[in-house]
Chain A
């Protein structure tokens, strides 16, 4: 438990009930991301994409309950594993009970924190799934979700939310309030976005995406309606998510919660307006999928700072996220040959980093910006190489990429034996031109 939290037993019943209600709404964020993941892939992989989303949520729940929650240390248990460096304690691993032992007797706030982490690990593991669309095997997706839930996410959650060394930067080194990540911008989105990058690196691009001659092949998502409806569903989940995070991780008073909620909407709204304008200027018409990416980037950026900043700052944060997202998507695809169908690297990793930076940039506490920079340095410098190593090893055991024939006929037929839209006529295979 974060030492900056108030005594757990002092959580009033009304706050407990409110937080629990918010956490029951928060899975809508997961549902929205799942819809977006499915809609941005091809029609011949739609059923596999949505089944993968559900399976990943299931796998992360089981693995996090069995193993990960102990390392995250969200339930009261041991004091955590620490070492001494420069006369300061560095708490690096939680020591909670395995198999959720003693959950019923745990304080109310610990139980709520556990629910939050269950949702957070599911969302973090979903992000790579969208990036590996149309070529990533279901078994490999579930295996990576298990690795994230057992090892990677618990470390990040403990360091940032569970009283680990990043949370204690304020106490030990006078760096503001320590690394602040109220809505999971780092723990969920940067971690998930960086995991998506490693999956893309290891699995490679879809066949025909980068042909020998000419530009990269456009492979638009098969259902813009899914994608845009997913954006609206996500908004509900995100508002609940950010407000619950503000209560649990930064002890926001009840009077501050409406502002957190409004900041979330403002950030997404300006991000959408900015992306709409940028794509209109660049292409002559607004691009639906990029606008959806911009909206999501605004939500992700708000996760880093909505609980801490004013509405004007939220507008600015959303504006920058909305301008940067379509440009980054284009940069990754055209200049860097990164085939990311869901845009998770731009939408989640980059916007998450921007949200975390904004939380320090617009915070008057001395040292807060440095604390935020150290948190970002940790996510990039420790978690990206760690995830790459684990996924690289996993790829030797459970190959990520489907065989060429499976990619040609589509993941639905290859892995499930039937398509999502059996009455549709399968159209020409443009990837084998």
Chain B
């Protein structure tokens, strides 16, 4: 799960880049870039959740 979250994050980045390449309208660009950031936030949340340790567990 932790790796899946980290893999989702570049997808959000490419969504942001696609926004500025595909759209000229400022509002459309803003919304799509915001969507890209939202995807990254989702990926980050999954990665953080995946790295959470059970209580008392120590990573070697």
Contacts and interface: CB of A to CB of B under 8 A. Distances in A.
A210 B56 CA distance: 6
A386 B34 CA distance: 22
A378 interface: yes
A385 B7 CA distance: 7
A204 B9 contact: no
Given A337-B53, A377-B16, A370 B29 contact: yes
B12 A380 contact: yes
A381 B13 contact: yes
B6 to A, nearest CB: 5
23 contacts: A85-B21, A210-B53, A210-B56, A212-B56, A336-B48, A336-B52, A337-B53, A338-B48, A370-B33, A373-B16, A373-B30, A374-B16, A377-B12, A378-B16, A380-B37, A380-B40, A380-B44, A381-B10, A381-B13, A384-B44, A385-B6, A385-B7, A401-B59
Interface of A: 85-86, 169, 173, 175, 201-205, 207, 210-213, 336-338, 366-367, 369-370, 373-374, 376-378, 380-382, 384-385, 388, 401
B10 to A, nearest CB: 5
B37 A377 contact: yes
B56 A173 contact: no
Interface string B16-60: 110011000010011001101100100110001001110111111
B20 A374 contact: yes
Contacts of A401: 59-60
Given A373-B37, A381-B9, A381-B14, 12 more contacts: A204-B58, A210-B53, A211-B55, A367-B26, A369-B30, A370-B20, A373-B30, A381-B10, A381-B13, A381-B40, A384-B9, A401-B59
Closest 3 CB pairs of A and B: A381-B13, A204-B59, A212-B56
Contacts of B58: 204-205, 207
A219 B10 CA distance: 35
A366 B36 CA distance: 20
Contact of A377 (B7, B13, B52): B13
Contacts of A338: 48
Contacts of A213: 55
A203 B59 contact: yes
Contact of A381 (B16, B20, B51): B16
Given A336-B52, A381-B10, A381-B40, A175 B20 contact: yes
B39 to A, nearest CB: 8
A212 B56 CA distance: 4
A100 to B, nearest CB: 32
A366 B37 contact: no
Interface of B: 2, 6-7, 9-14, 16-17, 20-21, 26, 29-30, 33-34, 36-37, 40, 43-44, 48, 51-53, 55-60
B36 to A, nearest CB: 5
Nearest to A201: B51
A374 B6 contact: no
Given A201-B2, A205-B58, A374-B20, A337 B52 contact: yes
A75 to B, nearest CB: 28
Contacts of B14: 381
Nearest to A366: B26
A207 B57 CA distance: 9
| A211, A338, A384 pick with most chain B CB within 10 angstroms | A384
A204 B58 CA distance: 7
B20 A380 contact: no
Contacts of A384: 6, 9, 44
B14 to A, nearest CB: 8
Nearest to A169: B20
A63 to B, nearest CB: 25
Given A377-B13, A378-B13, A388 B6 contact: yes
A373 B30 CA distance: 9
Contacts of A86: 21
A170 B20 CA distance: 11
B57 to A, nearest CB: 8
Contacts of B16: 373-374, 377-378, 381
Contacts of A210: 53, 55-57
A86 B17 CA distance: 11
Nearest to B7: A385
Contacts of B2: 201
A169 to B, nearest CB: 7
Contacts of B44: 380, 384
A373 B60 CA distance: 37
